[in-house]
Structure 1
Amino acid sequence: MAASIKPLGDRVVVKPQDAETQTAGGLYIPDTAKEKPQRGTVLAVGPGKVENGTKVDMTVSENDTVLYGKYAGTEIQLDGEDVLIMRESDILGIVNG
């Protein structure tokens, strides 16, 4: 990715994983019926936020695979790729392994 983005505060930039193209039974899913991905890879992390005069560090870091809400974040294009920028609180969890 040639262009870079530095998120501010408690925001993170996430590259969504591609939506499933096939069901477990082997049927192909048309583009119009695909679920919006809810899993992605963290590309960039902001410095954290200040809450009640105390700095709160970020829990996620670059290259973490995370789960987020279906309608979380704002879609933007970065070097022709669709990415999401969202608050860390929109992330539901970090996937291990």
Structure 2
Amino acid sequence: MANVKIKPIGDRVLVQHIEEKEQVRGGIIIPDSAKEKPQEAKVIALGTGKKGEDGKVTPFEVKVGDRVLISKYGGTEVKLDEKKYTLVREDDILGVIE
């Protein structure tokens, strides 16, 4: 488990993208700027949870360490100690990879 200095708030989840292995065919290398943002990520930290209208906190459906699929355009990218993370709302998590 990484010791990250970012604590998400509310229903936000801190994830780190899992980079796909680069495959080169026929000697063609695809530049980073042309690659799609990976949708697979690892949950690093959880916020406090989403509050309902009644004031009760709904527990997260994911836990730290889960591999998840996230929305391609969701979240806010942050960089800390030369590592890239993304803060997403739990609603931007599409599913858990088992």
Q: TM-score range by the shorter chain?
A: 0.7 to 0.9
Which residue does 1:43 correspond to in 2? Answer: 44
| Aligned-partner SS, 1:37 | coil
Q: Deviations over 1:11-30 (max 9, x none)?
A: 0000001144216xx45433
Q: Distance in 2 between matches of 1:87 and 1:44?
A: 12
Root-mean-square deviation (Å)? 1.7
Residue pairs, 1:1-97, within 5 angstroms? 1-22=2-23, 26=25, 28-53=29-54, 54-96=56-98
Listed as ranges, the gaps of 5+ residues in structure 2 are none
Q: Where do 4+ consecutive residues of structure 1 move more than 6 Å?
A: none
Percent identity between the aligned chains? Answer: 43
Listed as ranges, the gaps of 5+ residues in structure 1 are none
C-alpha change, 1:50 and 1:44, in structure 2 (3 Å) is: same
Aligned length: 94
The residue identity in structure 2 corresponding to 1:47 is: T
